[in-house]
């Protein structure tokens, strides 16, 4: 099963998918002062519908970072990058990123695992 989270500027959405079937979904208000609260509420709403030991993959997407930059509310942080194969991104960032190994393809399938 797959668990997906999308933290948006207004709502946080969560979904559990088994194969091509939606097992559970929820939409909760994004709690900007404490993002984990809204994420937790969305997760609580869906996790009661499945055996969590069957979740193989968790995917997180967000517009929070984009909104923060547009609103000029960002603070200095480290930049971690997973590039995948065949892409040299050394010259596109304004800072020196920290490169991580591993990647998933456009379908979310793990192609190369991050070393543990």
Task: Name the CA dihedral angle for 11, 12, 17, 20, rounded to a multiple of 10 degrees.
Answer: 30
Q: Domain span at residue 35?
A: 1-73
Same domain, 40 and 63: yes
The pLDDT confidence band at residue 39, using thresholds 50, 70 and 90, is: very high
Same domain, 58 and 114: no
Is residue 66 within 8 A of residue 6, CB to CB? The reply is no
Same domain, 20 and 64: yes
Q: What is the mean pLDDT of the chain?
A: 86
Query: pLDDT for 43-79, tens place per residue?
Result: 999 998 888 888 999 998 888 777 777 888 877 778 8
pTM for this prediction: 0.60
Domain with 13 in it: what CATH number?
A: 3.30.420.40
- The number of distinct structural domains making up the chain is 2
């Amino acid at each position: 099963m797959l668990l997906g989270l999308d933290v948006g500027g207004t709502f946080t959405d969560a979904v559990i998918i088994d194969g091509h079937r939606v097992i559970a979904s929820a939409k909760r208000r994004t709690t900007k002062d404490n993002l984990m609260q809204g994420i937790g509420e969305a997760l609580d709403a869906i996790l009661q519908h499945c055996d969590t030991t069957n979740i193989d993959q968790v995917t997180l997407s967000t517009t929070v970072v984009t909104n923060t930059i547009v609103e000029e509310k960002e603070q200095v942080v480290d930049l971690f990058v997973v590039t995948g194969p065949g892409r040299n991104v050394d010259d596109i960032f304004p800072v020196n990123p920290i490169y991580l190994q591993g990647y998933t393809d456009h379908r979310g399938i793990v192609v190369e695992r991050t070393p543990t």
